[in-house]
């Protein structure tokens, strides 16, 4: 197939996939819609893409049109004029017979699978989607990708180490590849396995990863009060700190209670094992009391009847004692 549709929010993954068709870049024409913020600009880019599609390579050895960052595909925000124009383009792409040396690549962050656009191209184009519908699906896909990058470096993750690696580095593909390369340098040429201890020692948050809420919950799970306070401190200047943290901590204690009681439906195997380790450090009564405290605290801060910032810290210290 000479028409390719690549869907995903990770620019690095989308770019690496496009390179398989682009090759050495000979005959490449790029239309970038990253800054097409209104209907006029979007329609202008659509016309450019269609003109490029309609122009064969002639005497050139090959031609590749890459229309990238199309954030207004069905599933994104666009005007009726843009939607209608995209539907006309999909009809054209589904019926066009491109010469062997001409390819058309369309990439964007989202595409609604049930849209007319997507249905028309199904079977007529090569469609590759990296869009994850749920956060845990994105993490699972990132763990697979990290394992692939490790394999290219002649490394393999020990059980649970890939999930731990992703929980620290994040799901950004460029960061995953960079951190795997760093792991190769750290372990040396003779090593073949990345253990959880190696990940804890060397992995660092990726470029798109801010302070993570799991820093707080991991410290609470370990009953490490000083680490929990330090993690909380990274969020204290955020708007709605008390509402956010009271909710996050209450949910965490609820999850530990569920694990304690064997209710693990919907949790990934990694999350079950990790939370089971935390739950072993708490009695069921302690978890029930802790959850009740933070549930009550959340109700107070949401209603505005309490100065929650101080109370979050106070309740946390009281609970962890």
3-class secondary-structure state, position 109: coil
Query: Are both 189 and 302 inside the same structural domain?
Result: no
Task: Tell me if 207 is assigned to some domain.
Answer: no
Q: Would you state the structure tokens that stand for residue 33, as one six-digit string?
A: 């819609």
Query: Are both 277 and 227 inside the same structural domain?
Result: yes
Give the per-residue pLDDT at 269: 79
User: In the predicted model, what is the mean pLDDT of the chain?
Assistant: 88
Give the per-residue pLDDT at 67: 97
Query: Are both 79 and 194 inside the same structural domain?
Result: no
Last residue of a domain, which of 202, 225, 242?
Answer: 202
Query: Are both 84 and 163 inside the same structural domain?
Result: no
Task: Tell me if 100 is assigned to some domain.
Answer: yes
Domain count, the chain: 3
Last residue of a domain, which of 181, 202, 223?
Answer: 202
Other C-beta atoms closer than 10 Å to the C-beta of 251 total: 16
Q: Which segment of 19-33, 262-276, 298-312 scores lowest on mean pLDDT?
A: 298-312
- The pLDDT confidence band at residue 210, using thresholds 50, 70 and 90, is low
Of 97-101, 158-162, 310-314, which has the strongest mean pLDDT? Answer: 97-101
Give the phi and the psi of residue 62 in degrees, each rounded to 5: -165, 165
As a whole number of angstroms, the distance between CA 81 and CA 87 comes to: 10
As a whole number of angstroms, the distance between CA 215 and CA 290 comes to: 18
Element containing residue 16 per DSSP (H, E) = helix 11-22
Give the per-residue pLDDT at 254: 94
Query: Are both 270 and 312 inside the same structural domain?
Result: yes
DSSP class per residue in 203-241: ----TT--S-HHHHHHHHHTT-HHHHHHHHHTTTTSTTH
User: Domain range holding 108?
Assistant: 3-129
The CA distances from residue 159 to 55, 143, 175, 270, 271, in Å, are 52, 11, 21, 10, 13
What is the average pLDDT across 73-100?
91
Give the per-residue pLDDT at 179: 93
Sequence length of the chain is 321
Q: Would you state the structure tokens that stand for residue 254, as one six-digit string?
A: 């609820």
- Has residue 284 got a pLDDT over 90? yes
CATH number at residue 282: 1.20.272.10
Query: Are both 164 and 124 inside the same structural domain?
Result: no
Query: Are both 188 and 121 inside the same structural domain?
Result: no
Give the per-residue pLDDT at 138: 78
Query: Are both 52 and 144 inside the same structural domain?
Result: no
Query: Are both 291 and 184 inside the same structural domain?
Result: no
CA gyration radius, the chain? 25
Last residue of a domain, which of 104, 129, 154?
Answer: 129
As a whole number of angstroms, the distance between CA 312 and CA 317 comes to: 9
Query: Are both 191 and 221 inside the same structural domain?
Result: no
Give the per-residue pLDDT at 159: 86
Task: Tell me if 208 is assigned to some domain.
Answer: no
- Has residue 133 got a pLDDT over 60? no
Task: Tell me if 50 is assigned to some domain.
Answer: yes
- The pLDDT confidence band at residue 305, using thresholds 50, 70 and 90, is low
DSSP class per residue in 234-294: TTTTSTTHHHHHHHHHHHHHHHHHHHHTT--TT--HHHHHHHHHHHTTS-HHHHHHHHHHH
Query: Are both 180 and 272 inside the same structural domain?
Result: no
- Has residue 212 got a pLDDT over 70? no
- Has residue 211 got a pLDDT over 80? no
Give the per-residue pLDDT at 266: 76
3-class secondary-structure state, position 84: helix
Task: Tell me if 23 is assigned to some domain.
Answer: yes
Query: Are both 60 and 98 inside the same structural domain?
Result: yes
CATH number at residue 93: 3.40.50.300
Give the per-residue pLDDT at 156: 96
pTM confidence score: 0.58
3-class secondary-structure state, position 33: coil
Q: List, in order, residues 6 or more apart from 120 with CB less than 8 Å away.
A: 87, 90, 91, 93, 94
């Amino acid at each position: 197939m000479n028409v390719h549709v690549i869907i995903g929010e990770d620019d690095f993954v989308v770019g690496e996939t496009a390179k398989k068709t682009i090759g050495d870049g000979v005959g490449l024409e790029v239309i970038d819609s990253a800054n097409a913020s209104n209907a006029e600009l979007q329609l202008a880019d659509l016309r450019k893409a269609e003109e490029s599609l309609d122009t064969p390579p002639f005497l050139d050895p090959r031609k590749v049109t890459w229309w990238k960052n199309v954030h207004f595909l069905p599933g994104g925000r666009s005007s009726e004029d843009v939607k209608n124009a995209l539907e006309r383009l999909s009809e054209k792409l589904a019926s066009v017979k491109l010469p062997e040396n001409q390819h058309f690549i369309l990439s964007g962050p989202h595409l609604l699978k049930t849209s007319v656009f997507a249905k028309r191209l199904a079977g007529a184009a090569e469609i590759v989607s990296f869009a994850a519908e749920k956060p845990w699906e994105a993490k699972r896909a990132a763990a697979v990708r990290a394992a692939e990058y490790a394999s290219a470096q002649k490394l393999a993750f020990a059980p649970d180490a890939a999930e731990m690696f992703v929980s620290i580095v994040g799901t950004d593909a460029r960061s995953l590849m960079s951190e795997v390369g760093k792991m190769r340098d750290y372990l040396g040429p003779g090593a073949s396995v990345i253990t959880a201890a190696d990940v804890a020692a060397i992995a660092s948050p990726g470029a798109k990863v801010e302070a993570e809420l799991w820093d707080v919950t991991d410290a609470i799970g370990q009953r490490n009060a000083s680490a929990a306070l330090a993690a909380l401190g990274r969020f204290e200047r955020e708007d709605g700190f008390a509402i956010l943290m009271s909710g996050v901590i209450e949910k965490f204690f609820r999850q530990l209670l569920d694990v304690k009681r064997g209710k693990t439906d919907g949790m990934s195997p990694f999350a079950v094992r990790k939370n089971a380790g935390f739950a072993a450090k708490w009695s069921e009564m302690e978890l029930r009391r802790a959850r009740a405290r933070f549930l009550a605290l959340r109700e107070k801060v949401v209603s505005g009847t309490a100065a929650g910032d101080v109370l979050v810290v106070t309740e946390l210290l009281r609970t962890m004692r």
